[in-house]
Amino acid sequence: MFLEIKDLSVKIENKNILKSLNLNINKGEVHAIMGPNGSGKSTLANVLAGKEDYEILNGRINFKDNDLFDLNIEERAQEGMFLAFQYPVEIPGVNITPFLHSAVNSKRKRMNEEEIDNLSFAKLLKSKASDLGINIDMLKRSVNTGFSGGEKKRYEILQMSILNPDLAILDETDSGLDIDALKIVTDGVNKLKTKENSFLIITHYQKLLDYIKPDYVHVMVNGSIVKSGGSEIAAEIEKDGFQKFQ
């Protein structure tokens, strides 16, 4: 199994958020999670990425033959996990080029691959940026600082396409994107998609799933997955909301 989440229960500040959650993802699959506000979708994404504020009450997670809880945040990233944040963090004074370059190289180092030099990296970044319709001037600015909502989301996908992860978690990457940007961003995701990597896509809208075809759709309510199936579930939710799943 590529990613196996078994019986996961998580709490934060005395509040149980995830409750006996189970989810399996195989190599090459695209999974979507839909669910009402506050149901715990971002919590799941953060726990997978290794955010330290949560208390794991129960359960285990396997990722590429590792016990995920044995890996710290950066080791998970270096093993091929990527989280596109729902709310990307503004980091004034930090430029994307050196930061992402060093991130790419630490991943390569872990994989015993040769490091990429300054010049080749700058070229790579520029070409990926232009694929995603990101202005070169934006690469000179501080990470996410003063970016519009949509710009931040594109910038997440730019980082994803540079890091080329095995498992990409997209947390509401579609919200805030205008219709053209949605097309560009989903094209970017589809280009990256191979038989070897997997996607976990968190969204509120069926629209995104028209562009990125999921193999499975899961409904998350109150910290657990209450139903799983194919794209038809997304259509159901679009029509009737979450009422009948609660």
Partner 1 sequence: MNIQDKYLKNKKNIFFSENKDIQTHREKLINIFENDGFDKKNNESLKNINLKNFIDFEYRYLISEETSVVNNNQENSYSIVSVNGQCLNFKDDKIEITKILDEDYNDFSKNNTIENNDHFVNLNSLFLNSGFKIVIKKNNNIKIKISNIITDDDLTIFQKNNYICEEGSSLNLIEEYENKNNSTLNILNVIKLEKNSQLNHLLIQDNSLNHSLIITSHSSCKKDSTYTQKVYNFSEGYVRNFHYSELIEANSEADLQGIFFLKDNNTSNNKTFVKHLAEDCKSNQVYKGILNDSSKATYFSNTHVDQVAQKTEGYQLSKGILLSDNASYFSKPELKIYADDVKCSHGSTIGPIDENAIFYLRSRGMSKIAATKILISSFINEELNSIDNEQMSEIIQKKLIRYLSKVK
User: For binding to partner 1 (CB under 8 A), which residues are involved?
Assistant: 49-52, 72-74, 76-78, 82-83, 85, 88-89, 91-94, 98-100, 102-104, 106-107, 142-143, 159, 163
| 40 is an interface residue for ligand ATP by CB under 6 A | yes
Task: Name which position in 4, 6, 12, 106 contacts ligand ATP (CB under 6 A).
Answer: 12
Strand blocks (E) in 39-117: 55-63, 66-67, 81-84, 91-95
For the chain, how big is the Rg over CA atoms in Å? 18
Q: Which residues of this protein are in contact with Mg ion, per CB under 5 A?
A: 41-42, 86
Report the first-to-last Cα separation within the chain, whole angstroms. Answer: 30
Considering the complex, state which of residue 82 and residue 199 has its C-beta at the smaller distance from partner 1: 82
Strand order across the beta sheet in which 167-171 lies: 81-84, 167-171, 198-202, 30-34, 216-221, 224-229
Binder among 2, 5, 34, 41 for ligand ATP (CB under 6 A)? 41
Q: What are the residues facing 66 on neighbouring strands? A: 63
Q: Is 124 helix (H, G, I), strand (E, B) or coil?
A: helix
C-beta of residue 180 within 8 angstroms of C-beta of residue 9: no
Number of H helices, E strands in the chain: 8, 12
If contact means CB under 5 to 8 A according to the sort of partner, which of partner 1, ligand ATP, Mg ion, none does residue 94 touch?
partner 1
Alpha carbon of residue 237 to chain centroid:
22
What angle in degrees, to the nearest 10, is found between the helix axes of 118-131 and 149-163?
130
**Partner whose footprint covers residue 39, from partner 1, Mg ion, ligand ATP, none (CB < 5 to 8 Å by kind):** ligand ATP
Taking CB under 6 A as the rule, does residue 13 contact ligand ATP? yes
Closest approach of ligand ATP to the CB of residue 203, in Å: 9
Smallest gap, in angstroms, from Cβ of residue 91 to partner 1? Answer: 5
**185 binds ligand ATP per the rule CB under 6 A:** no
Stretch that binds ligand ATP, among 37-45, 59-67, 91-99, 231-239 (CB under 6 A): 37-45
17 or 169: CB nearest ligand ATP: 17
Q: Give the footprint of ligand ATP on this chain (CB under 6 A).
A: 12-13, 15, 17, 35, 37-43, 53, 86
